[in-house]
Amino acid sequence: MAGIVIDRIAKSFGAVSALKEVSLEIADGEFVALLGPSGCGKTTLLRIMAGLETRSSGRVLIGGRDVSDLKPYERGLAMVFQNYAVFPHMTVYDNVGFGLTMQKKPKDVIDRQVKKAAALLHIEPYLERYPAKLSGGQRQRVAVARALAVEPAVLLMDEPLSNLDALLRLEMRAELKSVLREAGTTTVYVTHDQTEAMGLADRIAVMHGGKIVQIAPPTEVYSRPASMFVGGFVGSPPMNFIPVEARAGSVALGGQTLAAPRASGALTLGFRGEDVTLAPPGEAMPFTVRVAEPMGSHLLLTGRIGDAVVRVVAPPASIVKAGETVGLRLDPDRIVFMDAATGAATDLAA
């Protein structure tokens, strides 16, 4: 068991800077997801932690030990790869026991650990098989079991579910969470799928352009995004943003007066699609519906407020038709204000 400290890690490929002095502290036993679009540097950061990629500057500490210049095998960690990377010429048993065999553990210890990891991931029936005879989901279980069998201080996962189909992914996600909770392993999980990050992580580090733009628990990342980018990237549908003008410390919106973080000037107001209530058009912010999609659990409305495209989640029984104009009333506790110029959140309390 060990915490991780990432101290001003930077990485550039030639003239391209992939990571710009990223710092991050992960507590012992914590599950942190690195979330971001492709090319944001999340996989590079993970590979630098694992020692599979060189860094340009900075340090990585695992359990207080500076591992920056150590080879991967000296770092005492385990990893689950995107394409599973299960060794095709070994049986499932040998795959799961590979790390322990390399550590020259006695045979009975290996046997016990392999059986335990296999039981945890329900792959006992396949222990004598070769990976070629397994499905993608089963191979992924083998890869996770191989990582857990060594009882690593730190577990790194690089988009481990992205090669599975949607239903299997949902199943594996829940299972992964319960298995890892039980093992209590410090875990860093790279993903571009925000539902995976939301569902699994204790904290989410949202990355963009080689930087961590926000690190916070999932609910906070969701409801209090640090920037327009985070709000737009996390959540489905993404956060809505409309331009507003502050006057005398407040913003007036079709019948509603909201306290603004600034006395005056241009701001961007952000709100989640489910944080509104429908009201008669005259009494609240007018919202012109262009498309109404009944999703079963809710009604998804897409339309415009002024020039801004807005998506709103309404109760499934609401009767709203395309072309109609309805009023939207915002929940004042669940809105965020962003600086119109920089896109960064401005604190209401300040």
Partner 1 sequence: MTGPRRFLFVTGVITLCAWILVPIYLIALGSFGGRPAVFKWPKDWLPWNASLDAMLLFLRIEGVWNAAINSVIAAGLTMIFSILLGAPAGYALARFDFRGANAFRLLVLLTRAFPLAILALPLTVIFIKLGLYDTPFGVSLVHTALALPFAALVTASLFVGIPRELEEAAWVFGCTRWQAFTKVVLPLALPGVAAAAIFAFVISWNEVFAASVLTVRERTLTAYLLTVLSESPLHYRFAGGFILIVPSVLFIFAVRKYLFAMWGVSSK
Query: CA-to-CA distance for 314 and 237, rounded, in angstroms?
Result: 12
| Closest approach of partner 1 to the CB of residue 110, in Å | 13
Closer residue to partner 1, CB minimum distance, 73 or 182 = 73
| Closest approach of partner 1 to the CB of residue 97, in Å | 10
Q: Which residues bind partner 1 (CB under 8 A)?
A: 50-52, 71-73, 77-79, 81-83, 85, 87-89, 98-99, 102-103, 130-133, 146, 150
| Closest approach of partner 1 to the CB of residue 238, in Å | 32
β-pairing, 203-208 vs 211-216, is: antiparallel
Closer residue to partner 1, CB minimum distance, 154 or 260 = 154
| Closest approach of partner 1 to the CB of residue 181, in Å | 23
Closer residue to partner 1, CB minimum distance, 96 or 276 = 96
Would you state the torsion angle of the CA atoms of residues 171, 175, 176, 177, taken in this order, to the nearest 10 degrees? 110
Closer residue to partner 1, CB minimum distance, 23 or 101 = 101
Closer residue to partner 1, CB minimum distance, 89 or 321 = 89
Query: CA-to-CA distance for 141 and 122, rounded, in angstroms?
Result: 8
Query: CA-to-CA distance for 88 and 177, rounded, in angstroms?
Result: 27
Closer residue to partner 1, CB minimum distance, 87 or 343 = 87
Query: CA-to-CA distance for 147 and 145, rounded, in angstroms?
Result: 5
| Closest approach of partner 1 to the CB of residue 139, in Å | 12
| Closest approach of partner 1 to the CB of residue 114, in Å | 13
Closer residue to partner 1, CB minimum distance, 88 or 316 = 88
Closer residue to partner 1, CB minimum distance, 83 or 346 = 83
Picking from 233, 250, 247, 216, the residue whose alpha carbon sits closest to that of residue 335 is: 250
β-pairing, 77-80 vs 154-158, is: parallel
| Closest approach of partner 1 to the CB of residue 142, in Å | 11
β-pairing, 325-330 vs 285-294, is: antiparallel
Q: Contact at 8 Å (CB) between 110 and 100?
A: yes
Query: CA-to-CA distance for 42 and 248, rounded, in angstroms?
Result: 42
Closer residue to partner 1, CB minimum distance, 102 or 309 = 102
| Closest approach of partner 1 to the CB of residue 133, in Å | 6
| Closest approach of partner 1 to the CB of residue 73, in Å | 5
